[in-house]
Structure 1
Amino acid sequence: MEKYLELIKNSYSGYWNYLKNEILLPNNWDNYFYGLIAISLIVWLLEALFPWRKNQSLFRKDFWLDTFYMFFNFFILNLIVLIALSNTVAEFLNDILGAVGLSLSSFQLFDSTDLPKWLGLLIFFLVNDFVQWNTHRLLHRFPFLWNFHKVHHSVKEMGFAAHLRYHWMEPVMYNSIRYIPLAIIANYSSHDVAIVYFFAIAIGHLNHANLGWDYGKLKYIFNNPKMHIWHHAKELPQHVRFGVNYGLTLSIWDYIFKTNYVPYDGRDIELGFEGDEHFPKDFLHQELYPLKTKS
């Protein structure tokens, strides 16, 4: 127990020092704090130059709420719980495996250092995105999980910052499910992983932006604003009542597994979910909503 308490303590102090240096002493290209700001400003500028819904304000409904969510979920949440929880669970899992003479490396499918870097990162990206696609489906399929995911679907006007409006339980869910698949294929530096995450952030911002793009033939590979807006549609036919277009970065999984749905130009469709008029409008009550609501 003492080992885990020390690990939790070190996780808090370590991430605090990391975050402080990211903000005050930026000296690397893979700075997540300023990288997020840069990507956000670029996509916001694109919204200003090429708005799909021309009557939508640049400071759309809930713009500042979503901006707060963006920084809270990407940084403060890590400081409060995610890093300590992730490190503790990882150590606990390693201890259990060690008790029977195993380790995660025992299950490693290949040594990523034996592959060209581009190929190793491509495999990491594909596995990560596929696991997230499946996790996203679970969030829609099970009422208990859907109550948490409603926070994301409470967006009524789409904009880049809506990408990171989600309940804190979602990253716990995503990270828990993808931990083992990534652990048995991945052995990459933080610089390498940053390439994948910056790309995912950029595509995620674009998916939620007020942009009428679908990337032409590339729409069958990459998720896009014209496809993702249907994921947020308030009304869907009965045969797809649990949701459509689950892709985070890639759309290819939806086309392969027949969960794609873009019946027509969805620029002006109503967003949200049934009963969203009663959903809390502020951050604190949105975070508390799943804990007070029966599945």
Structure 2
Amino acid sequence: MNKYIELIKNSYSGYWNYLKNEILFQNQWDNYFYGLIAISLIVWTLEIIFPWRKNQSIFRKDFWLDTFYMFFNFFILNLIVFIALSNTAAQLLNDILKTVGLSLSSFQLYNTNDLPKWLGLLIFFLVSDFVQWNTHRLLHRFEFFWNFHKVHHSVKEMGFAAHLRYHWMEPVMYKSILYIPLALIANYSAQDVAIVYFFSIAIGHLNHANLGWDYGILKYIFNNPKMHIWHHAKELPEHVRYGVNYGLTLSIWDYLFKTDYVPHNGRDIELGFKNDEQFPKDFISQELYPKFSKKENL
């Protein structure tokens, strides 16, 4: 038990030092703090220059709430809970495997040093995106998970920062499901995978931005604003009532598994979900939803 307590303490101090170094710019090109700011400013500028919904304000509805969510979820949530939880879970799993003479590395499908780095990172990206696509489907398919995912779908006007408006339980689910698949294929440092994460952040921001782009023929590979807005549609036909267009970075999974749905130009469709007018509007109430919110479970 002392080992786990020490691990949790070290996780807090280690991530705090990491975050401090990010803010003080002591980390170089893989600086996620300023990388997030740079990507956000670039996509916001594109929204201002090429607005799809021209009557939507530059500071759209919930702009500042979503901006707060963006930094809270990307940095502060890790400091509060997620890094310590991840490290402890990983150590516990390894300790359990050790009791039968195994380790997680025993199950690795290949040695990353045996592959060209570009190929290893491509496999990392594809596996990660596919697992997250499936996790996203679960968030829509089961009521227990959907109650958490409603926070993300409470967005009423799309903009780049809506990308990172989500309930604190979502990364717990995503990372928990993703942990073992990545452990079986990847052994890369944060510096190695930085380009993958920056690319995913950029595509995620663009998907939610006030932009009317679909990237032409590349729409069948990459998620895009014209496709993703239908994922946020308030009303969908009965045959797709559990949701559509689940892709995070890649759209190819939706086309392969027939969950794609872009019936027409969705620029002016209403966003949200049934009874969303009763959904909590402030950060604290949304983060405590559904069990501890003053609003009833919708």
Residues 1:32 and 2:32 aligned together: yes
Deviation per CA, 1:141-187: give whole Å up to 9, x if none. Answer: 00000000000000000000000000000000000000000001001
- Counterparts of 1:240-259 in structure 2, within 5 Å, are 240-259=240-259
- Counterparts of 1:157-176 in structure 2, within 5 Å, are 157-176=157-176
Count how many residue pairs are aligned between Structure 1 and Structure 2.
Answer: 295
Separation in structure 1 between the aligned mates of residue 191 and residue 26 of structure 2, nearest angstrom: 14
1:291 alignment partner, SS class: coil
Aligned residue in 1 for 2:109: 109
CA shift, 1:289, in A, is 1.5
Residues 1:204 and 2:204 aligned together: yes
1:125 alignment partner, SS class: helix
Separation in structure 2 between the aligned mates of residue 294 and residue 233 of structure 1, nearest angstrom: 20
- Counterparts of 1:41-80 in structure 2, within 5 Å, are 41-80=41-80
CA shift, 1:27, in A, is 3.9
Distance 1:64 1:185, change over 3 A: same
Give 4+ residue runs of structure 1 displaced > 3 Å after superposition: 292-295
CA shift, 1:108, in A, is 0.5
Separation in structure 1 between the aligned mates of residue 58 and residue 73 of structure 2, nearest angstrom: 22
Separation in structure 2 between the aligned mates of residue 43 and residue 26 of structure 1, nearest angstrom: 25
CA shift, 1:191, in A, is 1.1
Deviation per CA, 1:185-226: give whole Å up to 9, x if none. Answer: 001121111110000000000000000000000000000000
2:185 alignment partner, SS class: coil
Separation in structure 2 between the aligned mates of residue 282 and residue 270 of structure 1, nearest angstrom: 21
1:290 alignment partner, SS class: coil
CA shift, 1:290, in A, is 1.9
Aligned residue in 2 for 1:94: 94
Unaligned stretches of 5+ residues in structure 2: none
Preserved CA contact (<8 Å) 2:132 2:174? yes
Aligned residue in 1 for 2:184: 184
Separation in structure 1 between the aligned mates of residue 207 and residue 82 of structure 2, nearest angstrom: 25
Residue type of the alignment partner of 2:83: I
CA shift, 1:294, in A, is 5.0
Unaligned stretches of 5+ residues in structure 1: none
Residue type of the alignment partner of 1:258: K
Residue type of the alignment partner of 1:65: L
1:217 alignment partner, SS class: helix
Aligned residue in 2 for 1:156: 156
Separation in structure 2 between the aligned mates of residue 27 and residue 288 of structure 1, nearest angstrom: 34
Bigger drift between 241-250 and 185-194 goes to: 185-194
Separation in structure 1 between the aligned mates of residue 88 and residue 188 of structure 2, nearest angstrom: 20
Bigger drift between 104-113 and 165-174 goes to: 104-113
Separation in structure 2 between the aligned mates of residue 230 and residue 192 of structure 1, nearest angstrom: 33
1:78 alignment partner, SS class: helix
CA shift, 1:89, in A, is 0.2
1:69 alignment partner, SS class: helix
Aligned residue in 1 for 2:134: 134
